Amino acid sequence: MVFTTHTPEKAGNEERDARHLNRCGFFGRTLSDEELYKEMVNGDMINYTISALRMAKKANGVSKLHAIVANDMWKNYEGICEIIPITNAQNQKFWQDETIKKAWKKGDAAVYKDQKTTLKHELFDEVYKQTGKQFDPNVLTIVWARRFAGYKRADLLLHDYNRFKELLHNEKYPVQIIWAGKPYPFDYGAIDTFNHLVHQSKQDPNLAVLIGYEIDLSRKLKCGSDVWLNTPRITREASGTSGMTAAMNGSVNVSTDDGWIPEFKKDGKNCFVLPALDHNLPTYEQDRLDTDHLYAILENTVLPMYYDKPKTWQKVVFKAMDDVIPEFTTQRMADDYYKKLF
């Protein structure tokens, strides 16, 4: 038996009362008190992840950083197996726009730009359909799109509200920002964040929150954006994969140094990465520092490069495609699972 552990988040490592599970026939038979005690952790609980790590011969985390975090998380429990890294990936053939792919292969910036404009129009048609707002394909478009969860910090830009407003009203370097995604039905903190962004988006013509975040919309967002914003707190994102498919379609990652990003990053060459923080800092301090770093990167590097140095920006776009393919494609991942785990 092998096992893949997917998240360091507590909600993703479920625990249940051991005696209740035993009464319900969870183990296939009724365990004796002695047998049950051997399975218990954290008081009288059964932790599904720990049980799987005890039963498996080998396990994996879903990025190199996640494997380090996971081994550290579970190291004090007896009988667990080794956790190796096999980084998540995405299917290039499914996600990458064919014209974008051909332009990248040929290094043809003109064809790339024409297709990117077409793809922006397709995304902005959706923006108009949902919000009635007309977005401009000549304006740098930032997208944050994934599941809403507290540690992912969809609202990080709003943590410094004055700079947020300055960013929105910057006439020299204009921006458009789109959020999309879904919170879990009972994740009330994430729901509050989503609702707050909806309320905020109604106040400015260059903001939008889109609903219906399924594969079709996800594809439009990745193909039609210029910047893919990724803002999890350090060590909390096991991998993340949306930035991989965004990079395949010319959306440049602006990200914290978490998940798969440390394996991909060539800061300033294929993406833009916030300086890594001490993840033991209080969350409010992490949020404050990451907000400052994010604005510094956007204001001083990303926006000036996009508008004033389009050839340099294009090099970053193509370099990101060079580095995400084939290293972060499913062909490599499947090969790793076969050779290293199965």
Q: Could you tell me the pTM of the whole model? A: 0.96
CB under 8 A, 24+ apart: contacts of 124-129: 124/224, 126/210, 126/217, 126/220, 127/178, 127/208, 127/210
pLDDT at 121: 98
Residue 211 in 3-state DSSP? Answer: coil
Spatial contact of 55 and 207, defined as CB atoms under 8 Å apart: no
pLDDT at 10: 85
Nearest 10 degrees: Cα torsion 101, 103, 109, 111? -110
| Domains of the chain listed by start with CATH number | 2-85 (no CATH), 92-327 (3.40.50.2000)
pLDDT at 88: 98
Q: Which residues of the chain have pLDDT under 70?
A: none
Q: What distance in Å separates the CA atoms of residue 340 and residue 63, rounded to the nearest whole number?
A: 14
pLDDT at 167: 98
pLDDT at 39: 93
Residue 127 in 3-state DSSP? Answer: helix
Pairing state of beta strands 58-61 and 82-85?
A: parallel
